[in-house]
Structure 1
Amino acid sequence: MAEGFIQQQREKQMEDVGGEYFRELSSRSFFQSSSTGKSSKFVMHDLINDLAQVVARGTCFRLDDKLKDQEQHINLKKARHSSYMQKLWQCMEDFEIFYKAMHLRTLLPFLIPSYSQSLVSNNVALNLLSKLRCLRVLSMSKYCISELPNSVGYLKHLRYLNLSYTLIEELPKSLGSLYNLQTSMLRGCQNLKKLPIDMENLIDLRHLDITNADSLEEIPLGIGKLTSLVTLSNFIVTKNNGFRIRELGNLIYLRGELSLSGLQNVVDPLDAREANLINKEGLKVLSMECSVGLDESQDRRVETEVLDMLRPHKNLEELHIKCYLGTGFPTWIGDPLFSNVVHKFTKLQKMCFLTATWTITLA
């Protein structure tokens, strides 16, 4: 998607079109299942890989090859895609070669588990961002970085940004000017506290993965304007802003997994109904979580009514309800329409109930 190989079709999402392409290539042995035992991992067939390297010699290069021959140095001006294995020995001299590849569209590092992180290579790589202004794909996943420079705002063509498992605490405001950004991967960023307040400007954003970003305090106002969102792993409802759960109503294309945190802050059940989960047929996994703290002043009937209004679509396959302290079950719990649900785990205050269909444990 980020490279522009997949186009939106009238009745299909880009992700679905890309899935069809991948399955077609896999059926022709262009890709094959990895031998690591993980069913979701694929590799290129050795012969296809050799052919691809020959065909792409003029537009792709790997830093690890060190580009010793003069022909490759000349082709750096035409290079569009690059990858490298991050090792301790990489320093300024190793990365200087990228200054000759000013038209790079892809920059992907691959980490070697046996090597520790190199702060030198991390800082040098960050300094490159102001130079490589044609980038569409940038991954700094697992880098030992705590901040991203404002120069990332210069990458106007950027469509895919992966900062997963970094030490980043806050993203720069300039990120809100990346109007072409489609995918923002922030999985496992446990120090991340805030997202840019101008995220509502990212009208092309389709995937926002903040899974296990446990320090994140809130979702920026205006997330409901990102109507192209397909992935929103977590929506945080903050105190005195429970009405903002309404913003989910505009995100009609959400699919996959969705977690709703801080549901105890929703004071009006009608706001929960406006989230319109019942019409989000692409959602397969849904988690609902209330605060673990016990507030005796809170009306537990409201909590029950809120969950009642958050009835999901019948296509749901997995449901988690955590720290629920309501006075009873939502009316849709146990509805036979949810025949696709294979896991249902609910934590309640007083009740412990077990059948072949539902598993409910004490809070």
Structure 2
Amino acid sequence: MHDLMNDLAKSVMGKFCVQLDVHRPQEISTKARYFSYIGKENKNLEFFEKVFKCNQLRSFIQWDEAFFYSFCINDNIISKLSHLKYIRQLSLRGYQTFVEFSVDISNLKYLHYLDLSGTSIQSFPFSMCLLINLQTLKLRNCHHLTKLPSNFHKLIDLRHLDLDGCRIQKMPKYMGKLNHLQTMNKFVVAKKGGSSLKELGALNHLRGTLTISNMQLINDLTELRGANLKEKLLDKLNLQWHWQDGYKFNHRHVDAQHEENILEVLVPNHSVKELIVERYRGTKFPNWLGDSHILPNLMSLSFSFCTNCVYLPPLGQLPSLQKLRIEGLKGIRMIGREFYGNGSSNAPFRCLSYLRFDDMGKWELWNICQEDESFPCLQELHILNCPRLTKSLLPHLPSLRRLVIIGCGKLETTLPKSSCMEDLYLSGCQKIAVKDMPTWSSTDVLQPLHDLTLNDCAQ
């Protein structure tokens, strides 16, 4: 039925709609208005000349998302492109030799979708920001792009901006004027010359994913409050601090209290499902991180290289949390009662299915709390490169399917029992006795493991 409908659509559209497939060559009519192509061979000059003779062309789209083209898009091709004055949708995605628009493109006044992802574009002409009908601009993985035009705010109808994988050093001024923006997955804080986070406050329709990078450059908490993240219906929020390699923490360079104030202010909306905090330099996390009323829908949480934190927030009472990753928190020595929720009567981590600890060089003790009720749904537990950890693990994890422990030479404990265990990986764990296999169910029936790896372990 799908093929029949496709054939019917093609017969109705006739020469106005061309879908070119390398496996099924097709002539390109000069009357074509909607053009797309599939196929992973490089296109040549003749190909573009045929396409761009279609003066009424509305759409030029290619669908090979993961493919890059080595064919050189030169000034001759770009000049032909600039004559497609009726074009609405244009994709040059994957053409790595495309560096810049060398001609005036302001006459493409109907253009509302532009995808330059994966190209080598380095800059935009001033005329680009005269495309007042542009609604979607995709610049994903444009690794050579370091800045956006200073008059970027003139794209008044812009709704979707994809900057993931770009090396933008600052946001242009007056980003708050783009008040139709619905998705913008990256905002770069600059020391001077760009938009401050306060500009986010005017973007009332912003939703989806947002990464805020260069958080270490934030100085004014008043402007930070103006970002008003609490009113943004985001699904994913990534907060990134960037410190130079070899950066040493001391009070001459980092004001820990200031860092803590920054994170305390950035309370997200309750809609957030995924939260990532990277290289935060405060000594503690804000209280809202463990508040079930503020984060009732949070499903995934990651802390990475927050090296000065000495305590974890009370994460055990987040009602929807399913995945938790804690990596590089080298200030943590003990995980205690506060991790579970400070004495709450509710079962801690009641929805958590994945838990990972990695590269925690000072972690020594994991105090188990409410051991009969904790982690009832945990399916995967990873403990990696925690050389000082001595004890202990939960004795019983009823839903555990995969257990990975690597580089924990001082960990002396019995392995948790689970009737669901399928995969056990132990490496560099000399004090865990292999005889304590976690494969016995409550009825003492041996459950078969699908994968078992033991490397440099005790007998």
Q: Give me the TM-score of the superposition, normalised by structure 1.
A: 0.78
Q: Which residue of 1 aligns with 2:340?
A: none
Pairing partner for 2:48 from 90, 95, 98: 95
In the alignment of these two chains, the number of paired residues is 311
Note closer, same or farther for the CA distance 1:268–1:162 as it changes in structure 2 (3 Å cut): same
Amino acid in the other structure paired with 1:152: I
Alpha-carbon distance in 1 for matches of 2:200, 2:65:
39
Task: Say whether the 8 Å CA contact 1:83–1:109 is kept in structure 2.
Answer: yes
- State the Cα deviation string for residues 188-211 of structure 1 (Å, max 9, x = none): 111111111111001100001001
Matches within 5 A, 1:1-363: 45-62=2-19, 73=29, 76-77=30-31, 79-85=32-38, 90-111=43-64, 117-119=70-72, 125-144=77-96, 145-213=98-166, 215-240=167-192, 244-280=196-232, 282-293=233-244, 294=247, 296-337=252-293, 338-347=295-304, 348-350=306-308, 351=310, 353=312, 359-363=325-329
Following the alignment from structure 1 to structure 2, what is the Cα–Cα distance between the partners of residues 344 and 93? 51
Q: Unaligned stretches of 5+ in structure 1?
A: 1-28, 30-44
The Cα RMSD (Å) is 2.6
**Larger Rg belongs to:** 2
| Post-superposition offset of 1:245 | 0.7
Partners of 2:325 and 2:82 lie apart in 1 by 53
**2:90 aligns to what SS in structure 1?**
strand
Q: 1:136 to 1:186 in 2, by over 3 A?
A: same
Determine the C-alpha separation between the residues in 1 that align with 2:264 and 2:312: 19
Q: C-alpha displacement at 1:112, in angstroms?
A: 9.7
Identical pairs, percent: 35
Alpha-carbon distance change, 165 to 149 in structure 1, aligned in 2, over 3 angstroms = same
Q: Is the 8 A contact 1:241 1:266 kept in 2?
A: no
The answer (yes or no) to whether the contact 2:211–2:239 under 8 Å persists in 1 is: yes
Over 3 Å counting, the alpha-carbon distance change for 1:241 and 1:114 in structure 2 is closer
Alignment check: 8 A CA contact 2:79 2:103 kept: no
Distance change (3 Å), C-alpha of 1:225 and 1:116: closer
Structure 1 residue 62 displacement after superposition: 4.0
Conservation of the 8 A alpha-carbon contact between 1:122 and 1:143: no
**Which residue of structure 1 aligns with residue 442 of structure 2?**
none
Q: CA 1:193–1:128 in structure 2 vs 1: closer, same or farther (change >3 Å)? A: same
Evaluate the alpha carbon distance shift between residue 190 and residue 312 of structure 1 in structure 2; reply closer, same or farther with a 3 A threshold. same
Give the Cα–Cα distance (whole angstroms) in 2 for the partners of residues 203 and 237 of structure 1. Answer: 22
SS of equivalent residue, structure 2 residue 36: strand
CA distance in 1, matches of 2:218, 2:65: 45
Q: Does the Cα contact within 8 Å between 1:218 and 1:237 map onto a contact in 2?
A: yes
Task: Give 1 or 2: higher helix fraction.
Answer: 1
Deviations along 1:308-335, one digit per CA (max 9) or x if unpaired, are 1110001110000100001321231101
**Following the alignment from structure 1 to structure 2, what is the Cα–Cα distance between the partners of residues 305 and 133?**
51
Larger RCO: 1 or 2 (CA < 8 Å, sep 6+): 1
User: Does the residue aligned with 1:305 lie in a helix, a strand or coil?
Assistant: helix
